């Protein structure tokens, strides 16, 4: 089930609120939320619930064992068992075929392992399971006595499938008791509708425009306009798609009494690649910093080790997004840029005009989406070459001109909304005026989204496949 579906909007969500607010006791609300979350996750593939249940309960018992063990050596062994157990599920479903096929190709063997169906959200909920066990090991949070409360933390439907990645220590108290004020519920609902509009009215339209372009991998050379238009549209699509899900998850969480941290802060307004990654998918960056980069030694062991740690973390960041070499290349691309900004260009770019710094950062990020989009390295090379005029069919092509005519205004609107211009204008308006406009816009966005959904037959979230 997806947030941007009529089933969710008109049946699941109203039913959830009716049941959830029928009682005020935390046990009742937790029970309702747990049952509805499992229903939400198992709507399309009930079998995949088993993988989540097994991984969750295994780490529940590991965490309980950690609290009863004083020996540091035994505690590390218990932690390793929990971490390896959960990661083994992720590796089997997401990476086993990839590594087997890569090895077979390297050895010149003629066989190929079949691709496995990936349980939706396994990358996200696996990371959340790991944060629980590691936080208990670090004594950052207490181990739970009730396995169902841990299952609620893992399966809670707003952030279950595509984040944000919620660290256990951040919501441990909220799992026990939550306060929901009317203003919080209203604000959360408005946040959800804002995300729904971003998904349906912007991300889906940019995706529709992408489908009409002649893209790499078809054997036909790209035009210069087509290459840049495709990568720009995909950059807009993936931003509005993923930030929309985060908006909806944060908003839904707020209506249920949870406070999730922000996951996007207008990343396309960044003046550097470093700043971009402080604004884009913040919860993922926090996870890799707290649970991978710092345990590796972070920046505490000299420049050479810091560079190595950054490359390892960004290779893993890329691989986390998908089992293909283009994702590893994408991660290393950003790793190299971040290393250059930190050790080579520090203090140099600060003297450039802000507009030029923004243009450089935006261009570098936009180029990265060519690497991210094409899983075939040959298509990646073709698309990257076309961006710089290599192997192109010309300056433009009929498909790109048609897309510009049909979607140009829409794409420009998406670009403007990807920057913090609207909040800047809203901040200068009187509070009452801003509140009234916000209410009117919320109603219009919801109505327009429903109309678009009725006419759309396919609108999955991009990050479901990661």
Rounded Cα distance, 163 and 128, in Å: 10
pLDDT bucket at 457, cuts 50 / 70 / 90: low
Question: Residues 70, 76, 78, CA angle at the centre, nearest 5°?
Answer: 85
Q: Taking the complete model, does pTM exceed 0.85, yes or no? A: yes
Name 155's Cβ contacts closer than 8 Å, sequence gap at least 6: 34, 37, 38, 41, 52, 56, 125
CB 230 within 8 Å of CB 213: yes
Provide the percentage of residues in the chain whose pLDDT is more than 70: 96
pLDDT tens for 319-359 read 999 889 999 999 999 999 999 999 988 878 888 999 999 99
* 281 catalytic residue (yes or no): no
Residue 282 confidence class, pLDDT cut points 50, 70, 90: very high
Q: Which of 257, 321, 386, 397 is catalytic?
A: 321
DSSP codes of every residue in 81-144: HHHHHHHHHHIIIIIHHHHHHHHHHHHT-S--PPPPPPPTTHHHHHHHHHHHHHHHHTTSSPPP
437: which 2 tokens?
Answer: 């406009």
Q: pLDDT: is 35 or 47 the higher one?
A: 35
CA torsion sign, 52 to 58 to 62 to 64?
Answer: positive
> pLDDT value at position 341?
93
* Chain center to CA of 301: 31
Average pLDDT over residues 271-296: 93
């Amino acid at each position: 089930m997806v947030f941007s579906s009529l089933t969710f909007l008109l049946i699941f969500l109203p039913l959830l609120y009716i049941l959830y607010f029928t009682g005020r006791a935390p046990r009742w609300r937790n029970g309702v939320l747990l049952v509805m979350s499992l229903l939400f996750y198992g709507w399309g593939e009930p079998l995949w619930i088993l993988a989540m249940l097994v991984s969750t309960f295994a780490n529940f018992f590991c965490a309980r064992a950690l609290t009863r063990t004083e020996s540091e050596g035994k505690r590390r062994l218990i932690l390793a068992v929990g971490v390896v157990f959960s990661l083994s599920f992720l590796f089997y479903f997401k990476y086993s075929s990839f590594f087997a096929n890569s090895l077979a190709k390297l050895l010149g063997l003629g066989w190929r392992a079949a691709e496995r169906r990936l349980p939706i959200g396994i990358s996200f909920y696996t990371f959340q399971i790991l944060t629980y066990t590691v936080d208990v090991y670090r004594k950052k949070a207490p181990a739970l006595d009730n396995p169902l409360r841990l299952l609620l933390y893992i399966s809670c439907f707003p952030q279950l499938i595509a984040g944000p990645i919620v660290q256990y220590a951040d919501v441990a108290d909220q799992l026990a008791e939550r306060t929901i004020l009317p203003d919080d519920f209203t604000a959360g609902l408005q946040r959800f509708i804002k995300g729904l509009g971003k998904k349906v009215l912007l991300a889906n339209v940019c995706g529709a425009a992408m489908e009409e372009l002649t893209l790499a991998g078809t054997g036909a050379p790209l035009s210069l306009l087509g290459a840049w238009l495709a990568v720009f549209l995909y950059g807009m699509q993936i931003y509005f798609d993923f930030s929309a899900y985060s908006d909806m998850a944060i908003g839904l969480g707020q209506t249920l009494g949870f406070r999730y941290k922000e996951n996007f802060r207008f990343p396309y307004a960044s003046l550097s690649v470093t700043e971009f990654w402080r604004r884009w998918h913040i919860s993922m960056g926090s996870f890799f910093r707290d649970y991978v980069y710092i345990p590796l030694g972070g920046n505490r062991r000299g420049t050479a080790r810091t560079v190595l740690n950054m490359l390892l973390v960004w290779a893993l960041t890329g691989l986390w997004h998908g089992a293909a070499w283009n994702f590893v290349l994408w991660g290393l691309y950003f790793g190299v840029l971040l290393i250059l900004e930190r050790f080579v260009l520090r203090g140099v770019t600060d003297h450039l005009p802000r507009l030029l710094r923004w243009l450089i950062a935006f261009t570098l990020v936009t180029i990265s989406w060519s690497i991210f989009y094409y899983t075939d390295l040959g298509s990646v090379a073709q698309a990257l070459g076309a961006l710089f005029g290599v192997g192109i069919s010309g300056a433009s092509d009929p498909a790109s001109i048609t897309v510009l005519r049909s979607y140009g205004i829409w794409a420009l609107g998406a670009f403007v909304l990807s920057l913090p211009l609207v909040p800047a204008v809203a901040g200068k308006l009187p509070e009452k005026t801003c509140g009234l406009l916000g209410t009117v816009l919320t109603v219009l966005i919801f109505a327009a989204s429903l109309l678009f959904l009725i006419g759309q037959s396919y609108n999955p979230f991009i990050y479901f496949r990661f």
